Structures are given as structure tokens and as C-alpha cells.
Amino acid sequence: MRGPHNIWRLVRTGATLERTGAMPVVLEAFSAPPSVRLAARILGWPFKWLGYKGDPNQPPATRALTALGPAYIKFGQVLSTRPDVVGDELAAQLRVLQDKLPPFPRAQARDMIERELEIELDTVFSHFSEPVAAASIAQVHRATLRESGKDVAVKVLRPRIERDFRKDVDAFYLAARCVDLLAPGARRLKPMDVIEHFDGVVRGELDLRMESSAAAEFKANTESDDGFRVPSVEWFASSRRVMTLGWAEGIPANDIAAIEAAGHDRHALGERVLQLFLKHALRDGFFHADMHQGNLKIAANGDIIALDFGIMGRLDEYTRRVYAEILFGFIRKDYRRVAEVHFEAGYVPPDRDVDEFARALRSVGEPIFGMDASRISMGRLLSYLFEVTERFGMETRTELILLQRTMVVVEGVSRSLNPQINIWEVARPIVEDYIRDNIGPKALLRDLTRTAIVLSRFGPKLPAMAEAALIAQSVPAKDPVPSRWPWVLGGMGAGAVLMALGVLLAETL
């Protein structure tokens, strides 16, 4: 679908931004360079009359994105979590996009559920409500299972959402190419990579089977976490376009007045939100990557209930260790160690100077640690850190960008509950526990044990590998050998088997 017809979609986008008054707001929020501002005016102002009118009662940016369609709305949701990028004012305007959009009719939802599940809706649910929440991709209904009487939340994709989303994202790709051409200085932001990542994330959200799977995995990981709950998946009533979870009764995390009226300890809740996120990221390597207030509820007993598992982050074990060491180094103000970790992980090219890099890291950490508790920000630290590492040649790593974005969101939730929270003091015990358990003698012993277990699996293959070594040694091959094992064994002499095991280990881990 990518092609010249997308130029018309960009023109319509610019025209809508102009007509709704959102153009100057968006350009200012992104500190757009003159060339981009000029191109935006050319695309927007002469064709202003072609733009969608939108709802005049909404703020300009929200009005424009809502009128433009689902992919624009989703993009706005992502931006609403980044006040550090778009500013507090625009982020606040976009926050309404999280779960307060116009719903589609209940009858359409019923028809889609019956088609997807191949059932009569009334045979499964004794009650099926009007929409209780509506977002860019799906809406939620409250229902009661006929057999058990259990209250559930039924999430249903919007009609034709896949087709509408595809058309919008195709225009995004063209816009990213235009930014590449018109604003060379913005290429470091890798606009094409950003759109590709956004495209992949939302494609995942358009298959609710994947979200159901993520919810089930997240629940299994966090079952023993005190003060935290994840609703159970009702698999028999879930499919690609329908997901059914246990109903979560509680106060929305953004309703501070109701939380106080219910007698909950806001300070403790703010600390728990942050610690839970770090625990999930470091301990499990699988974290909720969209933890804004709209996706969190406070239960009557004070438990934090997580919702909406369409965007989840995953970190491999090595990345978790690197991330923990970086955070721990900053907590201790050991900038030399933080620099060494970056070099050891290969994040910074080895031809750069480690002492110079450590000096640059000090320029990141010291100003932040000089702030009062209410202004200390781990998200801001990671943002500055990426700026410095970019100057030293570090390539963009998507998993770390997602982690940093989520950290900013979680900090925002924590500070809304506890404005005086000291992020570093709250994070310290979680990071220290992880360091103690995963870096040091205890972790080394565990890693060696796991290595021995992996090597033992290849025991039956050793005779064949030794025989292959002898053959390769006595009959040199004229052509390149497809398998690496005969070459490795044949060229190592008496240490062939041990070296082969080492290569096997490298391949396996």
C-alpha cells in the first residue's frame, strides 16, 4: 500500500493539524527545525479546508489526532507518556486518548464476538454491558459468565481496525522519509526505525491472542508479589479479536482524591509502583511497558492491579545484568565502573577512551544527584545517558529505549501518588538485591552449574565428534566444510574435544 497516494494522506494530515489549530502546538513541542516547519506549512495551510474538523470541544492536538484515525491516536498515546519529549502541556492534552474515546455500538461488539468465538453470546454471558472504556484499537465491556457467575472484562477490537491502521502507518513511513530528507539533523533519531518499531508494537496489539498470552505469562511471573495482581485470562472466551479477563474492581490510579478518600497510603503506593516495575524488569526480564495511570487500579485492600498487556518489554539476562550494574554504578557514583560496563557490553566501541567516557558520565550524574528528592529522575538520567553514549558511538538499542520510556511513565505514576518520592532511595534495595543474587560469587557458581548442565547434554555426541576430528585431520577437505565441528576438532590436536565443547557452549548460551 506504500506509494504516491500516501502524499495525499500527508496533505490531509497537515490540513487537519492546521484546521484544528494543532500544527503550531505540535511543531513547538518537538522543537521542529525551520525546514520541517516550512514543509508543514506548505502541506497544511493551503489545504486547510480539506482537513477534518474534529470535536471543537477537545484541545487542539487531541482533536486533530482523534479525527485522523486509530494509528494517529495510538501515536498520541505513546507521546502522552513522554512529557520529557513533548512537554507537560501537550502530554496532558494527549492523556485523554488513553481510554476516553468514542465507543462503537454494543450490537457491533456482540456480532464480532459471536463470529470470532463461533457461539451465541447469550449462551456464554448472562450479562453483557454497554462499553465501559474505549481506546484507539479496542473497547471493553463488562460481562458475567453464565456458568460460573464470574464478572469479566471483554475486550473487542474496533471494526476494520487492521485495514485503517495499515493505511495510516503507510503514511507514517512516507513522513519519516520526508524528515530524513528535509532535516538531516534529525536522522540521529532514526525516524524510519521509530516508525518500524511503532508498526511492530501495534501489529502485536492487533492480535489479542498475543496479549492474552502476555497477560498469562505476566500473572505467572508475579503471582508471589505482595500487593500486586494481574487478572486471569478466560481462554475459552478469547481469540484473535476478543480477549476475556477477570474483572478488576478498583480505583483508577489517576483518581488521587478517591484514593485518599478510601484511606490508602499514597506514599507507600508510589514506592510500590516503582519497586514492582524494577523487580519485574530485573528479576523476570518481562515487564509491563505501558504502565500509565489508565492501566493501573487500586483495589479495596490496597493491591495494585495491572491492566492492558498489549505492550510488554523483554530483556535477556545479560542485558538485565548490564542495566543493573549501570544503575548501581550511578547509585554509588562510581562513574568509572559505569563506563567499564558500557565497554564490556560492547555498547561503546573499544577504540574510544574509557576515562574520557567516565568523565562524560560524571557530567550526567552529578547535576541530577545535586537535585532535591522531588526532582531526582531515573528516566531523565537514562535520557541524558543515551545522549552521551550516542556521542561516543553507541548504537540505538530498542530494548533499552523501551525500558527508558517505561521508566519515565512509571516515575510519573509514582510522583503523582507521592510527589516527594526519592527515586534513587526507593530503587536502591531492588537493584542491590539483584546485584547480590546475579553478579558475584553466588551468580558465578550458578552460571557454572548451568554451563555444566548444558555441556552434559552433548555427552553422547563426543565419540562422533572425535571421529570426525580424526577424519578431518587425515583427509583435508578441498571444499569448505559445511559443518564447523570437523574443522574445529581437526585443527586443535589433543585439545580438540575441549575446544569443541567451548564452541558448543558459545553456540548454545
pLDDT tens track for 196-236: 777 777 777 889 999 999 999 999 999 999 999 999 999 99
What is the C-alpha separation between 55 and 97, in angstroms, rounded? 13
Q: Residue 72 has what pLDDT?
A: 82
State the pLDDT confidence band at 373, using cuts at 50, 70 and 90. low
State the pLDDT confidence band at 397, using cuts at 50, 70 and 90. low
- Tell me which DSSP letter residue 330 carries: H
Cα 401 to chain centroid distance, Å, stands at 8
pLDDT tens track for 29-85: 666 667 667 777 776 677 777 778 888 888 888 888 888 877 788 777 766 655 555
Question: How much of the chain exceeds pLDDT 90, in percent?
Answer: 30
Which of 27-41, 327-341, 460-474, 495-509 is the least confident region? Answer: 495-509
> What is the rounded average pLDDT for all residues in the chain?
79
What is the C-alpha separation between 177 and 198, in angstroms, rounded? 15
Query: Residues near 449 by Cβ (< 8 Å), separated by ≥ 6?
Result: none
Q: Sign of the C-alpha dihedral, residues 351, 348, 378, 327? A: negative
Q: Residue 124 has what pLDDT?
A: 94
Please check the confidence at residue 298 and state whether its pLDDT lies above 80: yes
| Strand extents, DSSP E, 149-212 | 151-157
Please check the confidence at residue 484 and state whether its pLDDT lies above 50: no
> Residue 190 — left, alpha, or beta (φ > 0 → left; ψ -120 to 50 → alpha)?
left
What is the C-alpha separation between 74 and 135, in angstroms, rounded? 9
What is the C-alpha separation between 310 and 300, in angstroms, rounded? 26
State the pLDDT confidence band at 488, using cuts at 50, 70 and 90. very low
- Tell me which DSSP letter residue 100 carries: B
pLDDT tens track for 235-267: 999 999 999 999 999 999 989 999 999 999 999
Q: Pick the more confident residue, 169 or 492.
A: 169
Q: Identify the CA nearest to 264 among candidates 303, 318, 236.
A: 303
What is the C-alpha separation between 115 and 121, in angstroms, rounded? 10
What is the C-alpha separation between 147 and 379, in angstroms, rounded? 46
- Kindly report the length of the chain: 509
Q: Identify the CA nearest to 239 among candidates 213, 202, 200.
A: 213
Q: Identify the CA nearest to 278 among candidates 288, 264, 265, 293.
A: 288
Domain map (residue ranges) of the chain:
5-100+162-204, 250-439, 453-508
Helices (DSSP H) in 310-397: which residue ranges?
317-331, 335-344, 354-369, 378-391
The predicted model scores a pTM of 0.74
Please check the confidence at residue 502 and state whether its pLDDT lies above 70: no
Instruction: Report, as an integer, the average pLDDT of 444-448.
Output: 69
State the pLDDT confidence band at 323, using cuts at 50, 70 and 90. confident
Residue 123 φ/ψ, nearest 5 degrees: -80, -20
Q: Identify the CA nearest to 397 among candidates 411, 409, 385, 381.
A: 385
Planar angle of CA 166, 63, 4, nearest 5 degrees = 35
Please check the confidence at residue 383 and state whether its pLDDT lies above 70: no
439: which 3 cell numbers?
A: 553478579
Residues taking part in catalysis: 290
